[in-house]
Amino acid sequence: KIKVPLHIKIFMWFVHKQVVLTKDNLIKRRWVGTPRCCFCDHDEIIQHLFLECPLAKLLWRMIHIAFNITPPVDITSLFGTWLT
């Protein structure tokens, strides 16, 4: 019921269900490639890409400073109450 474009709602649902095509999910579909994050050298999973990667942490820090939005601690809290 939130007022955002449909493609954003679909993306939010994909992230919430952890089916975004990150490298770990691609490998499950027989993709041939490195599972490592292209921004750092950790395995690319949804939790890492959106929360734990140094680039993600920097972006969340900037959002916190600019808009006073507390960074999420896990994927289920990523969109706050929007998904509930």
Structure tokens at 18: 């952890």
The answer to whether position 69 is within a domain reads: yes
Count up the domains in the chain and report the number.
1
Report DSSP letters for 3-46, one per residue: -S-HHHHHHHHHHHHT-S--HHHHHHTT--S--B-SSSSSB--H
The answer to whether position 84 is within a domain reads: no
pTM of the model: 0.79
- Domain of residue 24 covers 6-78
pLDDT, tens digit (0-9, with 9 covering 90-100), for 8-18: 889 988 988 88
The answer to whether position 58 is within a domain reads: yes
User: In angstroms, rounded to a whole number, what is the distance separating the alpha carbons of residues 7 and 54?
Assistant: 27
The answer to whether position 28 is within a domain reads: yes
The answer to whether position 1 is within a domain reads: no
pLDDT, tens digit (0-9, with 9 covering 90-100), for 19-59: 899 999 999 999 999 999 999 999 999 999 999 999 999 99
The answer to whether position 31 is within a domain reads: yes
DSSP secondary structure code for residue 57 in this structure:
H
- Give, in order, the Cα–Cα distances in Å from 29 to each of 6, 12, 25, 39: 26, 21, 7, 22
Residue 43 β-bridge partners:
36
